Homo-oligomer: A and B are copies of this chain.
Amino acid sequence: MRKIIVGVMGPGDNATAADLKNARELGQLIAHQGWVLLTGGRNVGVMDAASAGAKAANGLTIGILPDDDAISTAVDIAIITDMGNARNNINVLSSNVVIACGMGAGTASEIALALKGNKKVILLNQDAVESQRFFKSLSPNNVYAVDSPDAAIAIAREIIGDGST
């Protein structure tokens, strides 16, 4: 009965145009799989774009938020934590798989917390060689680097176990 949740993490205020395009596409693809999308829930950057993409495909969206302000209008279920970045750990532990779309200090903390919690992480930040090298050095078996939303979903399907048919 428990639903499969896929987390999409990425920059709020410093997302690139490519990050936003990828995030929106990830949201759509996650909804198409019948998975629930989980993000940081605010009305900016990757979290907003991914949520909007999922809603455009009739998906269900969860936002893990610091407070009741500036919630993305594409969030169905708003979880209010009264916490700042301590909530990053909730984001990743609640996700069956984490997809990092873009990079920044907050996103890096989520990737590291995911690996600490034995979660698998898919890095969709095409040209960032440093981050791929670093996170693979931390956890060689739990980090995947991809160059498109489609490739991210294909790996997520394998991890989750829906890709076996």
Contacts and interface: CB of A to CB of B under 8 A. Distances in A.
A36 interface: yes
B130 A55 contact: no
User: How many of these chains are in the complex?
Assistant: 4
B89 A84 contact: yes
A44 interface: no
The A interface, classified by DSSP as helix, strand, loop or mixed, is mixed
A69 interface: no
Give the interface size bracket for A toward B. 35 or more
A141 interface: no
A160 to B, nearest CB: 15
B2 A76 contact: yes
B55 A1 contact: yes
